[in-house]
Structure 1
Amino acid sequence: MPAAAAPALRETAAVPWRPRVDAARLRRRGRGWTLSTLAHTIPFLATAVLLIALEPLSFPVAAIAVVHAWGIPALYANRGANVVRPRPRAAPASERAALGLLGDLLGHEARELHARTGLAMERGRLGVWLVGEAGALLVAPGGRRVDCWCVRVDGELPSGDRTAHLLLALREDEEGFATVANLAFSGALWRLRPRLARAMRPALDAARARA
């Protein structure tokens, strides 16, 4: 008897041109991000070295080139951190009710972590996820790399409902979730961590420890 097909998010039908994401495709996409970052930064570093070699007094200009080489990856990482930044809140009563419902979906440890950081941790086949209100972070196995995914959700919902919506979609079809979501950043975890809100960093540390 053939095995039943894995459930697929209905939202994947809205992006038929996107190949379904799996672990191998994620690794290839990560390498692509790394190569793209190098392509942006190496010319600035090479310019700095060449300037110093030709004229040591050009050090100030070379320093500007180095700052650009450092700043471009930092801008990408900042864009990645934005996917889990808190959104505007609904009425307090609605927020409390939504957080209570979200808590029912989480285990004790994940519930406590969400209360402290605003991120819900979920282990999947692709790695360890940290789900926020309008996006998610995926810490890859080994804990050295993180992918940042932006997802469109109803902005009128309370924050807990937005997080619960994404968490349930992730549990239903992890690969489909990654297919529908937009990749905002893929790179070293150490580069993303300083760009996260300070309160969220313990969640990233916990995910890295479990990846």
Structure 2
Amino acid sequence: MDAARVRRRGALWTLTTFAHVVPFVAAGVVLFVVQPLAVAVSLASFAHAWIIPMLYAARGANVLRPKRRGAVVGATDAGAAATAVGLLGDLVDHDTRDLYAQTGLVVERGALGGWAVGEAGAVLLTSRGRRATCFCVRVDDPDLPPADRTAHLLLALRADEVGFATVANMAFSGARWRIARRLPAEMRPALTAAAALDRVYDTAS
């Protein structure tokens, strides 16, 4: 998979979403034209057309959201988490480390575009940072601290970016703003930074 193939997959995802949405819009219009008194049914059809892309975007944002864990964290778990954060910090530069501390995400510039990497997946920013393609990846060990999970995905991405994008499950591809709206405010700067990296890459190309 190269950048062109990533774009094709993104375009296919958009066409698929379009194919899901258009019938609801068409049905709403036809119902209203044929029977104006059925306006409630038409509005329900339009609502479905609006909700479908929103649900896809929420699914995509979930690859970056932190995973829920038990409220009680033992001293051993806290020590392992601190060690994991330290190891992850060794893999990135100072600015990226600071951004991770703020957002819980690591940004990485790759050959395909800018990446934002979390503990359950990564988002690839392309088209000068405007398109977000979300990949869901499962780390086998459920007991790993979040930073360890993120480090595993970051190393896999660095080892074989094309393979990473090929093997990982695509959860969403579409406008970046759709993903950003569904992330906690403190995580959004990482998405913006990854988009900026893609713009730098695009300019350099």
- TM-score normalised by structure 1 residue count: 0.86
Q: Which residue of 1 aligns with 2:100?
A: 114
Letter in 1 for 2:158: R
Q: Which ranges of structure 1 fall in alignment gaps of 5 or more residues?
A: 1-20
Q: Which residue of 1 aligns with 2:2?
A: 22
- Confirm or deny: 8 A CA contact 2:28 2:43 kept in the other structure: yes
Aligned-residue CA RMSD in angstroms?
1.4
Range 198-207 or range 75-84, more displaced: 198-207
SS at match of 2:181: helix
Letter in 2 for 1:76: Y
After TM superposition, give the deviation of residue 141 of structure 1 in Å. Answer: 3.5
Q: Which residue of 2 aligns with 1:146?
A: 132
SS at match of 2:8: helix
After TM superposition, give the deviation of residue 56 of structure 1 in Å. Answer: 2.3
- Confirm or deny: 8 A CA contact 2:114 2:196 kept in the other structure: no
Q: Which ranges of structure 2 fall in alignment gaps of 5 or more residues?
A: 199-205
After TM superposition, give the deviation of residue 61 of structure 1 in Å. Answer: 1.1
- 2:180 aligned with 1:193, yes or no? yes
SS at match of 2:42: helix
Q: Which residue of 1 aligns with 2:123?
A: 137
Range 191-200 or range 129-138, more displaced: 191-200
Residues 158-187 of structure 1, C-alpha deviations (whole Å, 9 max, x = no match): 111111111111111110111121111111
- Confirm or deny: 8 A CA contact 1:151 1:182 kept in the other structure: yes
- 2:149 aligned with 1:162, yes or no? yes
SS at match of 1:176: helix
- Confirm or deny: 8 A CA contact 1:126 1:141 kept in the other structure: no
SS at match of 2:173: strand
Letter in 2 for 1:83: V
Kindly report which structure 2 residues correspond to 1:87-102, keeping only aligned pairs within 5 A, or say none: 87=67, 88=69, 91-102=77-88
9, 34, 51: which one aligns with 2:31: 51
The whole-number CA distance in structure 1 between the counterparts of 2:133 and 2:117 is 12
The whole-number CA distance in structure 2 between the counterparts of 1:206 and 1:22 is 22
- TM-score normalised by structure 2 residue count: 0.89
